[in-house]
Amino acid sequence: MRAAFPGVDPALVGDDMAYPAMIKVVPNGWVGLVAASLMGALFSTVAAQLSMGANYVTNDIWKRFVRKEASDREMILVARAASAVLMVLGCVLAPLLESAKAGFDLMVQVGAGTGLVFLLRWFWMRINAWTEIVAMAVSFLCAVFFQLVWPHISETPLLFWQKLLFTIAVTSAAWLAATFLTHPENPDTVAKFRALVRADGRDVGKGVLMTFLSSIAIFAFMALVSRLVCR
């Protein structure tokens, strides 16, 4: 990458410049394909996040707590409205981030706060829908606070690991409180879930082996494409 950008400060040349570097070294016929793949990755990521957010709003909030008898047409309208609101919130939040790294750090903080819940829900059946809702909400608010608000109210900067620890601690306290203050899931629902995900441990070895082999195959294929395109 340094060879592709000889005039750039070496301290600024990192992994995030791999895509621009590849565009400079691939043959002319491949430039359009690489640019199209970048745009495709961007739009697919945005579409996936909007779809996931709308799904949370419609199935986990609207249908569960607001209107349990909502029709399919109503659910579609709610999903469209939720997608529009999420897009507006994204447009408002994006200019507040100083760099792409700030956005990535924000995502990591949100994931750090909710990661423990998403892991434990497979083993601790006391976790319910409110646990996950509270964890996601509090984790997001903590991440936004430390990323956007803290620099303006305090002259003492926090290191990234300190932000992570605070986010994890506050989020964990919040979702644990929500778990014990709300009713557990219906035992029949838990039993169906355990049967669906094979919580008894069947085929664990096969699953681990398939995950390992598929990961190797994906990275090997990426290396092959890179060698064929950039040679």
Q: Residue 130 above 80 pLDDT?
A: yes
pLDDT digits (tens, 9 = 90+) for 59-106: 888 888 888 888 889 999 999 999 999 999 888 887 877 777 777 788
Q: Residue 2 above 70 pLDDT?
A: no
User: Which of 1-5, 72-76, 178-182, 209-213 bottoms out in mean pLDDT, i.e. has the lowest?
Assistant: 1-5
Which DSSP state fits 5?
-
- What pLDDT does residue 184 have? 85
Name the pTM for this structure.
Answer: 0.64
Q: How far is residue 184's CA from residue 181's CA, in Å, rounded to a whole number? A: 9
pLDDT class of 3 with cuts at 50, 70, 90: low
Q: Residue 217 above 90 pLDDT?
A: yes
Cβ atoms of 13 and 217 within 8 Å: the answer is no
Sequence-ordered alpha helix ranges (H) in the chain:
18-25, 28-55, 72-93, 100-120, 129-144, 150-153, 160-181, 187-197, 204-230
Q: What value does the mean pLDDT take over residues 112-125?
A: 84
